[in-house]
Structure 1
């Protein structure tokens, strides 16, 4: 039976959006088996949602201290199922997922492709490289090829099934484990998560100040129910917090709509958002490189245009 494994991303008893994308992408290999890692009982609130998304089997890999350890519990869980029954493995791309993928590849003697934007039934994968300027197809060997999937690259398409739930215990912590002694989660605002948002409004150096981010960029994002992003220049100048930086050294996004305000369009920024479905650029420099990839470009003063745009959007609600 053809199948594939996906590592479930979850928090506070909820399946995170990236998991739906992983399950949808993995469907080209056959049945999708979702691997949930956490404390005993972690799978109970997650299994129904995973079934709705299309996971035919839910493996619950548990340990009492799983939530206090990093990387190795997930690596151990995926290694356990794939070593017994080899198949392709999909993991959410990012620092955490890529480290798990690397460790797992070494254990399974299989190749790994990071930050892919799609996978194929023949086990090849699509990758968007060199700042998303070149599309390539790549393949790796091994009985369990591993892929980390770029968030937002695949649209989640639910395919409801009734999942079979199977539980097993994780190996006990060893001297190799890193233990979390304390954890303070970042304060979560009302806006959607930047990496998963369907609408992203980003500001660059042309926004000119942190105050203008609050009075110009944020109101437009809120009017559209979107997230706020920033360029590296804007972050370095102290206009906005570093965790909202979009680009090669920041967050990669692929929303339905990306609006760039006062952004020139350096390749480092474009590489983190070029796969957006629609790109709108507002800039007073008509020669800004960003206009070259824009679906709609507006040459003008963003400080005059954006407040009028926000007012018009709110009037039409």
Structure 2
């Protein structure tokens, strides 16, 4: 017997340390838009410890039904335990679609769930739609961002991971009503256990309001210190194009672009970045783009709100000096 009267768009509400990840609110916003006048219910599934308050928040953000798996075993992310419970839920409610964020957890968990359900999965989507025949259409960049592929999953349920910072957030409304369905968690797999989980504190690039990124115009890895100083003065963080990450000059968590992070800061400063389609895919929606490059024909200038033609080793120190004076 299904738990739902109609088909559901099920959003995986990722949480860490008892707090729901912001990408979940974006997924709810898209699910609400997709449901429209269709016979689709927007639902969420939350696994965690002492997270009933977060489940209520999901209702305020538009979930009509929240499947709550609450147990101490869900405090740390256990891919096998999470997968087993999600698969059991999906088999019971037969959702129309399941949405995950393209986070470290989402990218790890979604393929496991899809494989167990023997259904397809489209990764790193930038948009979703439903066609006139009711088919779920998943849109993502292909061929390094040069085209947008429209993918239709023939198996059920349709499954997608969606990039953070590409969808509109759902609006919070405490007048919204919904149902929290208390679920009975499956037991741990006795053959193994999570002994410890350590969170490495790092930068939160997608949420930064100012990003100062370096590209091939940098001559040495040590020159990122110059960008770090500028970013610190502006209250921002340092980003990078992929080639410098591949060279090992800076960690992958700093990478902006098609295969890295998508950012939408208030200010994005591109230092010595030519503006390949791969990089542009991750930052072109920034509110203000400032490009510094010695090549006046660099593609980045076509997307910049302000372009400075010149040597970054002359311009950036002057910017730092002026900011320190102010």
Q: TM-score, normalised by structure 1?
A: 0.82
The equivalent residue for 2:102 is 93
The equivalent residue for 1:66 is 74
Whether 2:142 is the aligned partner of 1:133: answer: no
Gaps of 5+ in 1: none
What is the total number of aligned residue pairs between the two structures? 309
Q: Which residue, 123, 126, 137 being the options, matches 1:117?
A: 126
Kindly state the Cα deviation for residue 271 of structure 1 after the two structures are TM-superposed.
Answer: 4.7
> Cα distance 1:235–1:121, how it changes in 2: closer, same or farther (>3 A)?
closer
SS where residue 124 of structure 1 aligns? Answer: strand
Cα shift readout 1:24-56 (whole Å, capped 9, x = no counterpart): 1111134321211123x2x22312432332222
Q: Which residue, 160, 182, 187 being the options, matches 2:201?
A: 187
Cα shift readout 1:140-171 (whole Å, capped 9, x = no counterpart): 02332111101111121314223422222321
The equivalent residue for 1:164 is 179
Q: Answer whether contact 1:151 1:196 (CA < 8 A) is retained.
A: no
Q: Which residue, 301, 322, 325 being the options, matches 1:291?
A: 301
The equivalent residue for 1:14 is 19
Q: Which residue, 208, 213, 232 being the options, matches 1:202?
A: 213
Q: TM-score, normalised by structure 2?
A: 0.80
Distance 1:83 1:303 in 2: 58
Distance 1:246 1:132 in 2: 13
Q: Answer whether contact 2:214 2:273 (CA < 8 A) is retained.
A: yes
Q: Which residue, 3, 7, 11 being the options, matches 2:8?
A: 3
Q: Which residue, 297, 300, 312 being the options, matches 1:302?
A: 312
What aligned pairs does 1:254-269 form with structure 2 within 5 A after superposition?
254-255=264-265, 257-269=267-279
Gaps of 5+ in 2: 1-5
